[in-house]
Structure 1
Amino acid sequence: MSIIRVALDVPVNTLFDYLLPDDEVTRGDVGARVRVPFGKNALTGVIMEVIPHPLVPTRRLRAASHVLRDIPPLPKNVLDLFRFCSEYYHHPLGEVVMNGLPTRLRSNKPFIEESHTDFQYRLTPTGQSTDLSAIPVRSVVKRRLLARLKEQDAISMTETREVSSRAVGAIKEFMASGWVEEILVPPGGSRLFEESAGLPVLTPAQQSAVNAIAAKTSEFNAWLLHGVTGSGKTEVYLRLISLLLRQGRQTLVLVPEINLTPQLEASFRTRFPSIRMVSLHSALNASERAVGWLQAQQAEAQLILGTRLAVFTPLPKLGLIIVDEEHDASFKQQEGLRYSARDVAVFRAKQANVPVILGSATPSLESYYAALSGRYTMLRLPFRAAKNASLPVVRYIDTRKAKSEDGLMAPVIAALERCLALNQQSLVFINRRGYAPVLLCKSCGWSAACHRCASRLVVHLREKQMRCHHCGHREAVPNACPECGDQDIAPFGHGTQRVAATLEERFPDARIMRIDRDSTRRKDAWQQMLKDIQEKRVDILVGTQIMAKGHDFPNLALVAILNSDASLYSTDFRASERLFAQLMQVAGRAGRAGIEGEVLIQTEFAGHPLYHALQKQDYDALARTLLEERRTAGFPPFVYQALLRAEAPEISATLSFLKSAAAVAQAPEEVEVFDPVPAQMSRLKGMERACLLAQSASRKKLQTFLAGWRSRLDALPSRKVRWTLDVDPLEF
């Protein structure tokens, strides 16, 4: 009998030993999935080792049920990546490994692909001559599918589903009508690389960046591509991906959120119509994600585009990793394994000896400092790439000097009128969804609060509801104050709904679109909104931070920013960095294609250094100021931190556990452990929260301390207390 050591999805930091007959397992099965008994249940895990002698007496071991050989085993480099994440983030190895697999491959059932034959679909001559007008306007999916087929030579069933979940039925109707024909691609057959003609001329800065990276594609380098908004970072990515494709190597492109995926995906498909590209993100169903993951693992997919979890995808021919909008906090997982996909991408690139590109108009201070200190190589794109395009003019409107009309100052309304007269698009940016953030009684001062969280309920007037944006609690808007009975209760403050309602009343003939998490919740809604904006069926956009990231709207001339001062009051030392990045990104949506861009910011503090740097579009000046402040205060990137978070139904239990944790810390002189304090949001989803911070100027010494501390934490009694260790935390 052989002994296999298995990683299981359980919160215990150990591997589990099982027996298997010698003729059923080989060392080649390391990385394979295996079904094993665990308690009264059966679980699927991953074989991490095959060892000759057990660590416990053989009589105490149970036999594994079955080795699943339906897919190739995970390669050694991916298993090593999992081990690194487990050790660095001090998280159970089994949970790390199983978290890295698609949900469909974590189940106890073997994975069976729908078909071992790869079919593609292309337009017949009849379909080519068919105009979109032949399809009724209400048949949105069919029109979108026909447009996609006209853009590409052929599309796969996976690409068909990406258009819409109903596109599969539509393609069958097209085949029945003689518009589409089915063609066979040999299993595992690679497609010839083709690149679309008519490439744009690179600017000198773009050419310099491409040349620098292209000269070192066979070795590890971390490149920080710092380009102003609209400087053509995507074109740099495309040129380098083209080079890697010609070498037969794979490229992994990470984006912070699903909302960025459609536009990048469209750019890649337009440039490389014949290659196989897969998208990996949470909007896909379990089978679609598993199929894409397998195509990447078997090197059938040459270009992999995904959100943070895609960093763990097996890629046998990996040649380049790109992290777009690398500053974005969405790359940091905030539950379970609290990893940073950006940092893991850098480690993986070093492990595979390939380059990694971190791209941003507003790099994180950690990456910027790494470039200043020589660990990363800085490449700059200081000018916009489009002909005659220049950075927008930033102006400030002092909200103390005049009254507003439901949150909008007179200069903003006048600027919106000008854009409407010129048939140009405008964006009103307010990073707060709902109608109003507070429901207030003017008589007694009562305000609607969530009983489960330390936050107020947000008024959603159209739905006649108040909602907590943290736990999801909902309740009806009351007719009178529950405290004093006064019926004079009113919404206070502004959200996207209220601003959109004001604009609809002020500009009744304008086509106004609200874009926030509520309006984009429906499947395919965001893709349709993007299409409407691109095709100029919208005049005024009202949006949250969804609009700030990476989108290119050629006809957008004006950006008006409301309520940005709120972040200046934050106690979070990262608030200034985040606010500047957000404002610079959203300001960069204006004037990207030859039309003059203007940014109007309503503020009480026009003389603030942050706004001064924004007006000059001078990221470097603000970054160096913030770095000096952090050096003086002893904040990252000059120290390394770990945060022990705990939560329980009662705050006394939470603080008691953290005090015990501090007592067993045994921190060396180089590591500082602070006293427990309530979390920034002290109550969330009915749980009382607190945290304890440990930090050191040496990452190595902090890691050594955390390894010993973690084992002592596991031994502490923690009844009714949930706790987790967050290494390199972004939120407190």
Structure 2
Amino acid sequence: MPVLRVALDLPLHRLFEYRADDASTADVGLRVRVPFGRGEKIGVIVEVVAEGEWPLDQLKPAGSVLRDAAPLPADFFELCRFASAYYQAPLGEVVLQALPKGLKQLDPPARRAGRAAKPPRPLPPPALTAEQATAIDAVDIEGGYSAHLLFGVTGSGKTEVYLRLVDRCLAAGQQVLLLVPEINLTPQLEERVSARFPETRVVSLHSELAEAARERHWRAAASGEAAIVLGTRLAIFTPMPRLGLIIVDEEHDASFKQQDGMRYSARDVAVVRARQNAIPVLLGSATPSLETWANARGGRYGLLTLRERANREATLPAVDLVDTRKMVLREGVSPPLADAIRVRLERGEQSLVFLNRRGYAPVLACPACGWVSRCKRCAANLVLHLADRRLRCHHCGFEHGVPRACPTCGNQDIHPFGRGTQRLEAWLGEAFPEARILRVDRDSVKSRKQWESVLERIHGGEADILVGTQMLAKGHDFPKLTLVGVLGADSALFAADWRAPERLFAQLMQVAGRAGRAELKGEVLIQTQYPDHPLFASLVGHDYEGFAAGQLKEREQAGFPPYAFQAVLRAEAPEMAAAIDFLTAAAALPEASGQNDVAIYDPVPMRMARLANLERGQLLVESYSRPALQAFLPRWRAAIEALKAPSRLRWHLEVDPLEL
């Protein structure tokens, strides 16, 4: 009797076996209902074998095999097996997390046909620059595997390069997967792609889609009906039978790293998938991650460069530093920035004031006794949101009303300290009463519909001053925007995180790139108390290459990635002592001793030591050899799984962590 080996979405590193009377190898990749415990689960058939590891009389019979969708293909399982092995995640978790919710439900609701979208007005392609043409010709769509970094300044026309390569891929009868880091970038790109290819089925895949729509889009991609798939990180696992090209836009963005469940990097998985499928992959960015830059400079990836803006009338904005050490600031805004905003108002141009901190103020405090609005569940402060009079934790979501007096001493004169986008918006409204001010952050824009409305207002000239967070820092083209003012950048210069300079530089370069993208000249004013810092010198000169060279030299000297490879074991429990004891026991396991090529450091509390009522600790594992680290982790993980841990303790392994 055939035996089914089934992947289930469970935190166990093994497949489950069931007996089946009428199964065959043709059923591999299909979903199946199986008994589990007192209930049933939906699993995916990974193998059909004549004889399993367990005697037939000890196996439960499988339920019905679901044949309402084509079986998952062999290359899908190959990718999932890689991700499972590399990121130390159960295969069942990898396979099942890639499926839409409706395909994992025992009794899914009846599916409705989607409404046909209004066809967009076709747009003719613009003329190419010489650099764009060279970059396009360098990517051989039918030449097998290749990886290229498209390094182009903001506004250099990277998207046009993508579209020309998509055109070539479609002409060859292939599908294209285009990954973007954020959901709010999808509508604008989707509209542009659909307008360029009006006769081609284009679908999007991201978490904000309704489940029915996501399942329809996933099925269209998996069947080959949709030739172009736009998606966020999870879309990298979408089966596509005719996949011919993968594009990762803004490849440096941290949003490509999953931070719960299987903690994978969609950018890195994209490169692996391209190699497995023998197709090209293109990574695009104006500020590449240092790992990608090192791969390009070292010859592992091809390097394609766009140094000029695609619009011949547009030039890179002038970046100036505003030394605020001897200035009196009004709600964080310096006199030179206020004057520059006033000039733009007189010209009828738009300004963006960038402050990457939402809310009204980072903290509410009592000057009499020193009380501050701390979160009861986290090692963080509650942020004041004055518009709806709430104090909110931006880490765990806890919130409550603003107290009328200090909870400790009763003082009624409690004050907000620091500033967020709400407070900045209020002051700008007072300083420039004639201006139309539009705040864009995750408090004001919570859905795709709201985002589309905001973009329409900006493009329609219905806003004079934009107040925004990183939501406005990348991927947007506002022709009337000529001034960008940056507040609060200094806080990241001396952060404990050794990746902070890279993130700050990328963020500032990206937001600066919003200015002067058309014929109007752009200007960027960065307020700082450290105008002599080398990072700012690179920004003023638009010198990513010089900045990257300095950062890579420092990392090589310190033994940090990309010159070393890391994994981190994290544990969280109601008490910090329990988390640290567990990590100490893991470090003392026999499998962790005598590792000449792998260094295991002492357990320490995480920087955010308490989150959602759990104390968190971590243990860093590092090696100068990726194969040595990968050989060590499975043995160590299996030994950790055998440890007796407190019932309320949870732990996970993360490979290639972005934060420590």
CA apart distance, 1:444: 2.4
Q: Secondary structure of the residue that 1:670 maps to in structure 2?
A: coil
Query: Where in structure 2 are the equivalents of 1:70-469 lying within 5 Å?
Result: 70-109=68-107, 113-115=111-113, 120=116, 151-152=120-121, 196=122, 198-213=124-139, 215-469=140-394
CA apart distance, 1:292: 0.5
Q: Which amino acid aligns with 2:623?
A: S
Instruction: State whether residues 426 and 557 of structure 1, in contact with CA within 8 Å, keep that contact through their aligned partners in structure 2.
Output: yes
Q: Which amino acid aligns with 1:226?
A: F
Aligned to 2:19: 19
Residue 620 of structure 2 is aligned to residue 693 of structure 1 = yes
Which piece of structure 1 moves more, 7-16 or 479-488?
A: 479-488
Instruction: State whether residues 70 and 112 of structure 1, in contact with CA within 8 Å, keep that contact through their aligned partners in structure 2.
Output: no
Aligned to 2:40: 42
Aligned to 2:658: 730
CA apart distance, 1:329: 0.2
Which piece of structure 1 moves more, 64-73 or 513-522?
A: 513-522
Instruction: State whether residues 434 and 496 of structure 1, in contact with CA within 8 Å, keep that contact through their aligned partners in structure 2.
Output: yes
Q: Deviations over 1:123-158 (max 9, x none)?
A: xxxxxxxxxxxxxxxxxxxxxxxxx55x34xxxxxx
Q: Which amino acid aligns with 1:254?
A: L
How many Å separate the matches in 2 of 1:5 and 1:610? 54
Aligned to 1:525: 450
Instruction: State whether residues 141 and 169 of structure 2, in contact with CA within 8 Å, keep that contact through their aligned partners in structure 1.
Output: no
Instruction: State whether residues 147 and 302 of structure 2, in contact with CA within 8 Å, keep that contact through their aligned partners in structure 1.
Output: yes
Q: Deviations over 1:43-71 (max 9, x none)?
A: 00000000011211111100001100000
Residue 637 of structure 2 is aligned to residue 710 of structure 1 = yes
RMSD of aligned Cα (Å): 1.2
Change in Cα spacing, 1:583 to 1:119, as seen in structure 2 (3 Å) is closer
How many Å separate the matches in 1 of 2:594 and 2:130? 52
Aligned to 1:157: none
Q: Which amino acid aligns with 1:12?
A: L
Which piece of structure 1 moves more, 435-444 or 57-66?
A: 435-444
Q: Deviations over 1:488-541 (max 9, x none)?
A: 211011100000000111111211110000101145101110111111111110
Q: Deviations over 1:423-454 (max 9, x none)?
A: 11110000000000011222222211001000
How many Å separate the matches in 2 of 1:471 and 1:44? 31
CA apart distance, 1:725: 0.2
Aligned to 1:134: none
How many Å separate the matches in 2 of 1:85 and 1:522? 31
How many Å separate the matches in 2 of 1:468 and 1:110? 35
Residue 421 of structure 2 is aligned to residue 496 of structure 1 = yes
Instruction: State whether residues 68 and 110 of structure 1, in contact with CA within 8 Å, keep that contact through their aligned partners in structure 2.
Output: no
CA apart distance, 1:270: 1.2
- TM-score after normalising by structure 2: 0.98
Q: Deviations over 1:645-673 (max 9, x none)?
A: 10000001000000000001235101000
Instruction: State whether residues 391 and 591 of structure 1, in contact with CA within 8 Å, keep that contact through their aligned partners in structure 2.
Output: yes
Q: Secondary structure of the residue that 1:524 maps to in structure 2?
A: helix
Aligned to 1:161: none
Q: Which amino acid aligns with 1:4?
A: L
Q: Secondary structure of the residue that 2:571 maps to in structure 1?
A: strand
Aligned to 1:175: none
Q: Secondary structure of the residue that 1:367 maps to in structure 2?
A: helix
Aligned to 2:580: 655
Which piece of structure 1 moves more, 520-529 or 582-591?
A: 520-529
Instruction: State whether residues 105 and 111 of structure 1, in contact with CA within 8 Å, keep that contact through their aligned partners in structure 2.
Output: no
Q: Deviations over 1:341-375 (max 9, x none)?
A: 00000000000000000000000000000111111
How many Å separate the matches in 1 of 2:260 and 2:526? 35
Q: Which amino acid aligns with 2:128?
A: L
Gaps of 5+ in 2: none
Aligned match for 2:604, one of 677, 689, 694 = 677
CA apart distance, 1:483: 2.4
Aligned to 2:5: 5
Which piece of structure 1 moves more, 198-207 or 542-551?
A: 198-207
How many Å separate the matches in 2 of 1:499 and 1:301? 44
Q: Secondary structure of the residue that 1:234 maps to in structure 2?
A: helix
Instruction: State whether residues 102 and 108 of structure 2, in contact with CA within 8 Å, keep that contact through their aligned partners in structure 1.
Output: no
Q: Which amino acid aligns with 1:29?
A: D
Instruction: State whether residues 396 and 601 of structure 1, in contact with CA within 8 Å, keep that contact through their aligned partners in structure 2.
Output: yes
Aligned to 1:582: 507
Q: Which amino acid aligns with 1:40?
A: R
Instruction: State whether residues 4 and 18 of structure 1, in contact with CA within 8 Å, keep that contact through their aligned partners in structure 2.
Output: yes
Q: Secondary structure of the residue that 1:606 maps to in structure 2?
A: coil
Q: Secondary structure of the residue that 1:96 maps to in structure 2?
A: helix
How many Å separate the matches in 1 of 2:351 and 2:533? 26
Instruction: State whether residues 141 and 168 of structure 2, in contact with CA within 8 Å, keep that contact through their aligned partners in structure 1.
Output: no
Q: Which amino acid aligns with 1:202?
A: L
What count of residue pairs does the alignment treat as equivalent?
Answer: 657
CA apart distance, 1:678: 0.4
Q: Secondary structure of the residue that 2:203 maps to in structure 1?
A: strand
Instruction: State whether residues 667 and 673 of structure 1, in contact with CA within 8 Å, keep that contact through their aligned partners in structure 2.
Output: no
Change in Cα spacing, 1:205 to 1:561, as seen in structure 2 (3 Å) is same
Instruction: State whether residues 112 and 212 of structure 2, in contact with CA within 8 Å, keep that contact through their aligned partners in structure 1.
Output: no
Q: Deviations over 1:272-316 (max 9, x none)?
A: 111100000111111110110011111100000000000000010
Q: Secondary structure of the residue that 1:569 maps to in structure 2?
A: coil
Q: Which amino acid aligns with 2:395?
A: H
Q: Which amino acid aligns with 1:56?
A: W
Aligned to 1:596: 521
Aligned to 1:129: none
Gaps of 5+ in 1: 122-147, 153-195
Aligned match for 1:54, one of 44, 52, 55 = 52
How many Å separate the matches in 1 of 2:378 and 2:95? 33
Which piece of structure 1 moves more, 658-667 or 449-458?
A: 658-667
Q: Secondary structure of the residue that 1:320 maps to in structure 2?
A: strand
CA apart distance, 1:718: 1.4
Query: Where in structure 2 are the equivalents of 1:535-546 lying within 5 Å?
Result: 535-546=460-471
How many Å separate the matches in 1 of 2:204 and 2:448? 16
Instruction: State whether residues 575 and 614 of structure 2, in contact with CA within 8 Å, keep that contact through their aligned partners in structure 1.
Output: yes
How many Å separate the matches in 1 of 2:116 and 2:500? 49
How many Å separate the matches in 2 of 1:523 and 1:567? 30
Change in Cα spacing, 1:328 to 1:47, as seen in structure 2 (3 Å) is same
CA apart distance, 1:198: 3.4
CA apart distance, 1:266: 1.2
Instruction: State whether residues 390 and 399 of structure 2, in contact with CA within 8 Å, keep that contact through their aligned partners in structure 1.
Output: yes
CA apart distance, 1:405: 1.0
How many Å separate the matches in 1 of 2:376 and 2:116? 53
Q: Deviations over 1:219-275 (max 9, x none)?
A: 111100000000000000000001111111000000001011011111101111111
Q: Which amino acid aligns with 1:427?
A: L
How many Å separate the matches in 1 of 2:640 and 2:484? 50
Aligned to 1:165: none
Instruction: State whether residues 70 and 110 of structure 1, in contact with CA within 8 Å, keep that contact through their aligned partners in structure 2.
Output: no
CA apart distance, 1:217: 3.4
